[in-house]
Structure 1
Amino acid sequence: MERRQIIVVGGGLAGTATALGLAQAGFDTLLAAPQPPADKRSSAILGKSLAFLADLGVVEALGARHAPLAVMRIIDDLGRLFRAPTVEFRASEIGLNAFGINALNADLAAALAERTAAAKTLEIRELAATGLTLTDEHAVVTLEDGSEIGADLIIAADGRRSPMREAAGIRSHQWRYPQTAIVLNFKHAVDHGHVSTEFHTRSGPFTQVPLPGRRSSLVWVEDPKLAELYVDLKPEKLSKTVAEKLHWILGEVSIEEPVGCYPLGGSRVDRLTSTRLALVGEAAHAFPPIGAQGLNLGLRDAEALVRLAAESRDDPGSPLMLGRYQAARRGDVLTRTAGVDILNRSLLMDFLPTQIARSGALAAMGLISPLRQFAMREGLVPGAGLTGLPRSVRKWMGGHDARGDHVEE
Structure 2
Amino acid sequence: MTQPSAPTGETTKTDILVAGAGSTGLAAALAFARSGLKTALVGRIPPPLPGRTIALFEASVRFLDALGALERVKALACPIEGIRMIDDTDQLFPVPELTLRASEIDLPALGVNISNDELVGVLLDLVRASPEIQFIDADIADYEVNGACAAALLADGRRLEADFIVAADGRNSRARAVAGIDVKEWTYPQVALTMMLRHEFPHDNISTEWHTRSGPFTLVPLPPRDDAPHRSSLVWLMSVDDARRRLAKPREELEYEIEDYAKSEFGAMKIESDIGQFRMGGMQVSQHAKGRLALVGETCHIFPPIGAQGLNLSLRDVADLEDCLASVDLRNERELSRALVRYDRHRRADIGFRTNGVDVLNRSLIIPYLPVDLFRGASFIAVAALGPLRRAVIREGVLPHLVLPRMMRHPVRAHAG
* TM-score with structure 2 setting the length: 0.92
Q: How much is the aligned-residue C-alpha RMSD, in angstroms?
A: 1.9
TM-superposed deviation, 1:295:
0.5
CA distance in 2, matches of 1:397, 1:264: 37
Partner of 2:183: 172
- Within the candidate set 279, 295, 298, 1:279 is matched to 295
* Deviation string, structure 1 residues 330-382 (Cα, Å, up to 9, x no partner): 21011001110111001011111111000000011001010000000011122
Whether the aligned pair in 2 keeps the contact of 1:153 and 1:316 (CA below 8 Å) is no
1:3-402 to 2 correspondences below 5 Å? 3-40=13-50, 41-213=52-224, 214-315=230-331, 318-383=336-401, 392=409, 394-395=411-412, 398-399=415-416
TM-superposed deviation, 1:107:
0.9
* Deviation string, structure 1 residues 165-205 (Cα, Å, up to 9, x no partner): 01110011111000000111000111111000010000000
Q: Match for 1:355: what amino acid? A: D
CA distance in 2, matches of 1:18, 1:391: 14
67-76 vs 145-154, which moves further? 145-154
Whether the aligned pair in 1 keeps the contact of 2:24 and 2:297 (CA below 8 Å) is yes
Whether the aligned pair in 2 keeps the contact of 1:276 and 1:322 (CA below 8 Å) is no
Q: Match for 1:22: what amino acid? A: F
TM-superposed deviation, 1:82:
2.1
For these two proteins, the number of residue pairs brought into alignment is 398
CA distance in 1, matches of 2:369, 2:409: 43
Whether the aligned pair in 1 keeps the contact of 2:350 and 2:402 (CA below 8 Å) is no
69-78 vs 233-242, which moves further? 233-242
CA distance in 2, matches of 1:139, 1:391: 29
When residues 362 and 205 of structure 1 are mapped into structure 2, their CA distance, relative to the original with a 3 A threshold, is same
Describe the SS at the equivalent of 1:141: strand
Describe the SS at the equivalent of 1:151: strand
CA distance in 1, matches of 2:268, 2:71: 33
Q: Match for 1:21: what amino acid? A: A
When residues 84 and 399 of structure 1 are mapped into structure 2, their CA distance, relative to the original with a 3 A threshold, is farther
Q: Match for 1:280: what amino acid? A: V
* Deviation string, structure 1 residues 46-73 (Cα, Å, up to 9, x no partner): 0211110111011112242100000100
Whether the aligned pair in 2 keeps the contact of 1:96 and 1:397 (CA below 8 Å) is no
Describe the SS at the equivalent of 2:325: helix
Whether the aligned pair in 2 keeps the contact of 1:181 and 1:220 (CA below 8 Å) is yes
Whether the aligned pair in 2 keeps the contact of 1:98 and 1:397 (CA below 8 Å) is no
* Deviation string, structure 1 residues 296-343 (Cα, Å, up to 9, x no partner): 000000111122222214548721221221122221011001110111
Whether the aligned pair in 2 keeps the contact of 1:61 and 1:114 (CA below 8 Å) is no
When residues 87 and 323 of structure 1 are mapped into structure 2, their CA distance, relative to the original with a 3 A threshold, is same
CA distance in 1, matches of 2:287, 2:304: 21
Q: Which runs of 5+ in 1 are unaligned?
A: 401-409
Describe the SS at the equivalent of 1:152: strand
Describe the SS at the equivalent of 1:110: helix
Whether the aligned pair in 2 keeps the contact of 1:100 and 1:397 (CA below 8 Å) is no
Whether the aligned pair in 1 keeps the contact of 2:319 and 2:408 (CA below 8 Å) is no
Q: Match for 1:340: what amino acid? A: V
27-36 vs 202-211, which moves further? 27-36
Whether the aligned pair in 1 keeps the contact of 2:148 and 2:331 (CA below 8 Å) is no
CA distance in 2, matches of 1:114, 1:390: 20
CA distance in 2, matches of 1:133, 1:142: 8
CA distance in 1, matches of 2:41, 2:112: 26
Describe the SS at the equivalent of 1:292: coil
Of all paired residues, the percent bearing the same amino acid is 38
* Deviation string, structure 1 residues 223-256 (Cα, Å, up to 9, x no partner): 1101111112111111111111011111111012
* Deviation string, structure 1 residues 256-308 (Cα, Å, up to 9, x no partner): 23111111000000000111000000101000000000110000001111222
CA distance in 1, matches of 2:94, 2:31: 45
* TM-score with structure 1 setting the length: 0.94
CA distance in 1, matches of 2:214, 2:60: 29
Whether the aligned pair in 1 keeps the contact of 2:110 and 2:398 (CA below 8 Å) is yes
Whether the aligned pair in 2 keeps the contact of 1:210 and 1:216 (CA below 8 Å) is yes
CA distance in 2, matches of 1:27, 1:195: 40
CA distance in 2, matches of 1:127, 1:107: 22
